[in-house]
Structure 1
């Protein structure tokens, strides 16, 4: 969520409840998704504000806190399931800061509407600003895709990405 989305979607309503709680605990919300209808699953993807790896204990802490908040706010009637995870290495690109942090790495992007006759793009991330993200395609051409037009964007797992996101060894 970039803060520019309309607050009418269920994901936006959930983000408004979840985001301040995560920030108070030292985390950042990367993405909220709701999957399924009869017994929906709320998926929360989070990062640590300090950039360090998120742990299983962190996910449990987030799950307990957010679950309690959602029980009180009750944005989804009936029974639902909550899943909390780290954004991972081959993470989705949902925020401007992610596009800029992972500039130089390979990503795949799918758009809601065709752009230059296509909806799927693969290329090197060149960064983003508040309105659009940029990719350099395999043929060398650059494409600019407005954030609202992006259905999903995700980093591609490569050796370079693994190396760039590896936790440095502890000094003894």
Structure 2
């Protein structure tokens, strides 16, 4: 089964459980690091998640994975919070991030720049607007390689 199919299968297994329990699925990764495969599930909820939440989700998902067995190779399962610098993947992630500090990278330069850090001023399906210390940049959504919340130090 291809990586995207595995991620979709895991998302389907988790959807009703997470919704019922008040969790939000942030991201799923199925990646090979060295000789090991890792299935990483990032979840959140209002007020943040704790180790007990991760344990409950991990236990539920482990049972489902054993039952349906969609992954042909050995792997390590990790369930965790996305962290303070959580990725922005879905439209609702961007909507919630308006007014917050973000870090955005692009596939190709915009005015000679591929990395933008600043306040997310606006979001719609076509573009995001990031205000850095010295400029405001409208970034087409199609050019965004990655985006995440950013912590100011």
Q: TM-score, normalised by structure 2?
A: 0.80
State the distance in 2 between where 1:16 and 1:133 align.
Answer: 29
Q: For residue 144 of structure 1, give the secondary structure of its aligned residue in structure 2.
A: strand
In 2: Cα distance, 1:61 partner to 1:150 partner: 34
Q: Tell me the residue number matched to 1:79.
A: 74
2:14 is aligned, of 11, 18, 21, to 18
In 2: Cα distance, 1:72 partner to 1:131 partner: 41
Q: How many residues align?
A: 149
Q: Return the match for 2:149 from 147, 155, 163.
A: 155
User: What is aligned with 1:47?
Assistant: 44
Aligned match of 2:96: 101
Residue 70, structure 1, aligned to residue 86, structure 2: no
Q: 1:9 to 1:151 in 2, by over 3 A?
A: farther
If each structure's strand is expressed as a fraction of its own residues, which one has the higher value? 2
Consecutive unaligned residues in structure 1, runs of 5 or more: 1-6, 160-172
Q: 1:28 aligns with which of 10, 16, 24?
A: 24
- Aligned ranges 1:160-171 → 2 under 5 Å: none
Query: 1:32 touches 1:42 (CA, 8 Å); kept in 2?
Result: yes
Aligned position for 2:87: 92
Q: 1:99, 1:126 within 8 Å by CA — same for their partners in 2?
A: no
TM-score, normalised by the number of residues in structure 1: 0.73
Q: 1:136 aligned to 2:125?
A: no
Q: 1:67 to 1:127 in 2, by over 3 A?
A: farther
